[in-house]
Structure 1
């Protein structure tokens, strides 16, 4: 039977404390760009990563990226799998890899019906894959096709669109496997959702069993061996490890119906997904739970009309305790550990020069006692001015 390999997609959080914790748990890595390879080199130098772990290299690849991938393979990292995103990418490895090379192919998925495009810009059209394999890979002794990769933007959901795309991929896998004996793995990418409200309900067990069952049934029907299954979970791995805490510094009644709580930071700069894709997070007051609650809008410090948060997942509103008695109200946004620092450009210039907040790491020591340490102070004006060229 096939095996299961859990890969962490580094783009969801590149921080050293995240990667080090991930690698304590028998996890493999998935990369998106050339500089990810530098992180892997650092982890290897520290003895945290060994040459037998899988490194799945995704994305449209620049020459810098393919060169760094080839250097890893040439240095004896034995389970590097560059996943071909287009038909000419293989030529780079033909030139730069000294020995043999494992490769994967990414299928260009059809986008969901409401999206702006019909087909993903990432990957190779499924109609072209068989012919491409026969012409470019089948007789080339340098390459072993090991993996077929597909990923659905909307994530792993129990709907007709997801099952249709999965079955299309399985159909291509089965056809390919009949003429390609080295093909032994299917990579279904990431896409498990995480809890974004107290009412969150997702049946992980059912979805896992159903995906595995569909793969088994397709292989049985086509009389081919079942594949290894790879996943590349980012948010699911790291999302629930992060939280953002804000202080309400003022309230403003702008008309009879609209009350604003102003926070001491910005949603655009600290939780960019809230305005970029309308992402909702688990949000709770930290104190004043026994006060009366009222409907409010939350406003950030930038001079931007989009710097607000005013609806939770299950209701189109935000309710928070009244903020009357002089004690400041604090609010927490939870499960913010994936993508937010990456998208906001951690340590860089922020919209309206709103500083990046202080970062505190909390973990349990070997005795299970909670310990905290300061990872970064609040961003200073001096660091921003230096970046902007003010000497």
Structure 2
């Protein structure tokens, strides 16, 4: 009778897989001995496997390159990384090794761009696509970047006032794009995205505000679908509507030459995940070329903005099961040594699911469990997986540590969770490890951030030592406080 954890995985999925293998009944991720990493660094533990970022970028470039060659597509392809997915320097440094461009969302993104330019990571030829609702600081930062000579900075107009705001702040001519306010999926709570300008208003807006404005050159139409690029009737219908707008706009605006198909590729959230990336790219290129050929207009250059696809599959989080609570005759709670709310907020906020696997003890019997976090919040749990709507793990044994890994958690979780700041119930942010290749292709790991300490929390809350504007301890204030 097959009752071991490895039996469950092998009969439920096609296993092993490209990134997951088993060695000595312990899980490996891209050849990394996770159990050994746990023994070296402890848990809870977050890690980023940087080579995966470059690999996914190159995969996308190959798909678009092949599709364009197959269909005789005369436009070019530009891969942009959405910085909001993960702003960390190590992520940007890895991504920028692959000759890519950047998409920004808010004012401080421009400061990051300027720092990257200063460090020689990007050049004046790098496209900086500026999305988001723009007010004061964001407008001023965009203007500063363009005024200092970065002509490939393209602000995407999100509302009617932005043209005027940008024109006042920017010296001389500048390029812009217009974002389409796409219609949301039928099950959504509202019909039309709050972002961008409605389909029917694009051409009138161009004629009224851009056509006779010698300072502004329209270069790009931006099309974003919140659900991402998926093989659904909804997606293809919205893409065709977008192409009709592009063609209508192109006929009255000769400078328009680029189409940004924002809305990223999905990433693997289960060992049973299936998605034909190559087919989707091929069909997108085919649809765009066919529509433009029929309308007798030149095909646009293609821009994509991939955030989660770029960085999501590089991340992982590992916990230890501290204790098991039998709450009734059916529910066993495995309590982890951290919090789902703080370390994987998407699992709590939008019920997002990640690949969940035991790190060790694969050759032992399994049981059905619920996973609970350390906070006193009833919502701090993770209770479903792809196989039979439950989580199965090797049986809890007090004298045999059990470690659990959540994979492909690299996008958004740190920023949404408030990296380096306060955490719910003051549960500390885990230690964070970077894994990268050296010049010889060998993997090496290093500590990016230690687990938060009580002193750091107390300082943020106002109890501990105060720091001045340079981040240094203010000894005068410390002295006054001690006397009081």
TM-score, normalising length: structure 2? 0.80
Query: Any residues of structure 2 matched to 1:293-308 within 5 Å, and which?
Result: 293-308=366-381
Match of 2:279 among 195, 198, 206: 206
Query: Any residues of structure 2 matched to 1:1-391 within 5 Å, and which?
Result: 1-324=74-397, 326-391=399-464
Q: CA deviation at 1:370?
A: 1.2
Aligned residues: 391
Q: Distance in 2 between matches of 1:9 and 1:85?
A: 17
Q: Secondary structure at the match of 1:218?
A: helix
How far does the alpha carbon of each residue in 1:335-384 deviate from its partner, in whole angstroms, 9 at most, with x for none? 11000001001001011000000001111111111111111110011111
Q: Provide the aligned C-alpha RMSD in A.
A: 0.8
Greater RCO (Cα-Cα under 8 Å, separation 6 or more): 2
Q: Distance in 2 between matches of 1:154 and 1:131?
A: 28
Q: Distance in 2 between matches of 1:69 and 1:316?
A: 47
Does the aligned pair in 2 maintain the 1:197–1:314 contact within 8 Å? no
Q: Distance in 2 between matches of 1:218 and 1:97?
A: 35
Structure 1 counterpart of 2:469: none
Q: CA deviation at 1:325?
A: 5.9
Q: Secondary structure at the match of 1:202?
A: coil
Q: Distance in 1 between matches of 2:443 and 2:80?
A: 28
Q: Distance in 2 between matches of 1:121 and 1:321?
A: 46
How far does the alpha carbon of each residue in 1:147-172 deviate from its partner, in whole angstroms, 9 at most, with x for none? 00011111111111101111110000
Q: Secondary structure at the match of 2:267?
A: coil
Q: Secondary structure at the match of 1:107?
A: strand
Does the aligned pair in 2 maintain the 1:194–1:239 contact within 8 Å? yes
How far does the alpha carbon of each residue in 1:234-291 deviate from its partner, in whole angstroms, 9 at most, with x for none? 0100001110010000000000000010000000000000011110001110000011
Q: Secondary structure at the match of 2:309?
A: helix
Q: Unaligned stretches of 5+ in structure 1?
A: none
Q: CA deviation at 1:313?
A: 3.2
Q: Distance in 1 between matches of 2:228 and 2:349?
A: 18
Deviates more, 1:308-317 or 1:258-267: 308-317
Q: CA deviation at 1:23?
A: 0.6
How far does the alpha carbon of each residue in 1:185-235 deviate from its partner, in whole angstroms, 9 at most, with x for none? 000113201111111100001100111111001101110000000000001
